[in-house]
Structure formats: structure tokens, C-alpha cells
Amino acid sequence: MSGRRSTTAAALIALALLAPLTACGFDSESGSQSGSGSGSGDGKKGDTAKAGASFPYTVDNCGVKTTYRKAPERAVTMNQHVTEIMLELGLEKSVAGTAYLDDAVLPAYKKAYDSLPVLAKEYPSREKLLAANPDFVYGGYASAFDAKDGRTRDALKDSGIDSRLNIEYCTEKRTTLDDLYREIEEIGRTFGVHERAEQWIAQARTTVAATGRKQGTKAPVPVFVYDSGDKTASTVGGKGIGQELIQRAGGRNVFADIDKSFGDASWEEVVARKPEIVLILDYGSVSVAQKKERLLKDPALKDVPAIRNKRFAVLPLSDAVLGVRAPAAIATLAGQFDR
């Protein structure tokens, strides 16, 4: 996998789900499920905010405590899923630059995304980052703040720049949809669009609830996620949001015991765990067709039920991380797992 991670990530059920996520969520503490309407990505900054009402706002993000007296005005987003969070909340006018796409942005965000300066195909150098004159840097993976490239959060702070890391990559516990809702809420408050964030969260809960009702009480199907790899398989572990998406879609991640969001597994373990579906993550230069071919032609895998029966599901990588696509991804996976 590429340097987007700290340790190294189909068509939707209805085309409407491709819209700026009217996605979904679940409150694990109360057991309630509800939903929230998302924005189109075309909204103006502060559409639902009341000037000054949210500030000062203090947040502890991954151990870094920051007090905002006003909303950041020149944010730089690094990694697709955090860029899409900003666009979903109508904050493109607050973005001074962006970097690192894993796949195409959703059609609903394309117009807003095309208005943003792209600083680099992957991560920008420290010099390019500082040249954008940011007052806030938002990273999706821990690698966004890589020390060897001089982009640590401490180094940015020394330059007077605040920062945030997507909480999937700093939580000690398993990531759930509650963490997604927290991510959206905290970004909403940081940028003074708290009401818009809450609307999205409410609609998200409704969408997840609807998928859950359709699933009923079916027995979960064993799923192996194939991200990449030849000598070993890069797969989804049990700690990240990918585990939650699979579980809520009616699957059982056969590598849930890997204590990471993403990790490596031996092919011998893939065979031993007998997955009935292979979920392929779609991104980068290696196509889904090439990944399928690699798996189908490997003689060591010929007796794996998913390979023998050619049962594949596909999900864009950007759907499988902690971002606004996650709720709709549950519905996408549920439809594929049921086939």
C-alpha cells in the first residue's frame, strides 16, 4: 500500500447514495439509530452557523489540545476522506489547498473539489505546505504528519499552524460509527458549522438504521478483505472502521483479530479461515480485475470457498475509512453480501 497510512485502506445500492452522503449511523450506547441530511458540498461556509456562537472552542484531538477563537480560514487537507468531510460540510471556501486522492471524489463533490488548489499528487513537501500559508492542517492518516518530511504536528505548531488527525488513527479502542459522528461534530464545531454537522449525523443514523432493518437476523458471512499484496495479504484488521462496516453489512471479518486498522496476513491463514466472500478494495494503479485475476490464478487458494465460487465484493478504499462515505458503504456491502 502507499504511504497514506501510518503502518504501511461498487456500486451503491441506489444511485441516490452517490449523492453527498445522506449516510448513516448508530448510537452504540443508547442502541438507537437515526439519520441526518447531508449537504451538497456546494454550500457556503457558515450557512448554518451563527457568527461567534461556537467560539471559543477547545478540543483534545489525539492528545493535542487546541483552543479556537475563530474558525480556521486557510485549511490544508491531506488524504481524500478528510477532504470530503470538509466538502460535505460546505467548507470549500475555507480550504487553501488539498493533497492525496486514493480514487475519484464523489460526483456530488467534484465541482467543489475542482475549485481547490491541489498541492501535490501525494503528500506535499514541507516547503509546498507552508507556501500555501495554512492556519490549519487536517490529516487523514498518521503519515500525513510524518517526521522525516518535517510535517509533524509539533513542527506545524511551531510555525503557528493548528492541526487535526482523523481519530481513526489515534484511538486506542476499536473504531466505531460513534467515532465517525465525533469526527464530524468536532470538525463542525472547529469551523463554526455545528448545526450542519449535526444534521449530517442525524441523517447518517437514519440510513444505518434502514440498512440494519433490512439485514434482520441473518447469520454473518465470513469475509476476507483483499487490499493488496503478493507474498502476504494486506487486509482490514479489527481495529478500524472497516471492521464496523463489514459487521453492520452482515459480514464477519475473518481477520478481526489483527489489532490494527490494516495489517498483513499470510496466505496460509487466508486458506485456513475459509472466507466465503473476498472484498476487494479498489484504488491505485492495480485494478479490481487484476486483483481478481491474481487471486483466481493462485493454486494455493483454489479450495477457498470464496475463490472456488468466485464470490467477490468491491468497495472503493475511500469508502472503507473514517469519512462521510462510511454510512452508505454499509448499504453497498449489504447488497453485495446478499447476492
3-class state of residue 102 by DSSP: coil
Percentage of the chain beyond pLDDT 70 is: 84
Task: Identify the pLDDT of residue 41.
Answer: 39
Residue 177 shares a structural domain with residue 281 = no
Burial pattern 30-43, b for ≥16 Cβ within 10 A else e, equals eeebbbbebbebeb
Q: Residue 5 pLDDT > 60, yes or no? A: no
The residue from 206, 233, 268 where one domain ends is: 206
Residue 69 shares a structural domain with residue 166 = yes
Residue 179 shares a structural domain with residue 308 = no
Percentage of the chain beyond pLDDT 90 is: 78
Rounded Cα distance between 248 and 215, Å, is 9
Residue 33 shares a structural domain with residue 130 = yes
Structural domain includes residue 2: no
Residue 296 shares a structural domain with residue 258 = yes
The kind and range of the H/E element at 82 are helix 80-88
CATH assignment at residue 42: 3.40.50.1980
Structural domain includes residue 9: no
Q: Residue 56 pLDDT > 60, yes or no? A: yes
The kind and range of the H/E element at 128 are helix 126-131
Rounded Cα distance between 206 and 203, Å, is 5
Structural domain includes residue 273: yes
Rounded Cα distance between 257 and 195, Å, is 38
Looking at the structure of the chain, the number of domains it has is 2
- Lowest mean pLDDT, pick from 25-39, 145-159, 268-282: 25-39
The residue from 206, 233, 258 where one domain ends is: 206
Domain that holds residue 279: 216-337
Structural domain includes residue 173: yes
Taken in order 193, 199, 203, 206, is the CA torsion positive or negative?
Answer: positive
Structural domain includes residue 264: yes
Rounded Cα distance between 81 and 105, Å, is 9
C-alpha torsion 223→316→202→15, nearest 10? -110
Q: Residue 44 pLDDT > 90, yes or no? A: no
Q: Which one, of 176, 153, 328, lies nearest residue 243 by Cα?
A: 176
Q: Which one, of 117, 124, 118, lies nearest residue 143 by Cα?
A: 124
Task: Identify the pLDDT of residue 214.
Answer: 86
pLDDT tens per residue, range 88-101 = 999 999 999 999 99
Task: Identify the pLDDT of residue 81.
Answer: 96
Task: Identify the pLDDT of residue 53.
Answer: 59
Structural domain includes residue 295: yes
Residue 157 shares a structural domain with residue 20 = yes
Q: Is 160 exposed, middle or buried (0-12, 13-18, 19+ CB in 10 A)?
A: exposed
The residue from 181, 206, 231 where one domain ends is: 206
Residue 163 shares a structural domain with residue 223 = no
pLDDT tens per residue, range 245-255 = 999 999 999 99
pLDDT tens per residue, range 214-236 = 877 789 999 999 999 999 999 99
Structural domain includes residue 138: yes
Task: Identify the pLDDT of residue 47.
Answer: 42
Structural domain includes residue 1: no
Residue 144 shares a structural domain with residue 283 = no
Average pLDDT, the chain: 87
Q: Estimate to the nearest angstrom the gap between the alpha carbon of 326 and the chain centroid.
A: 6
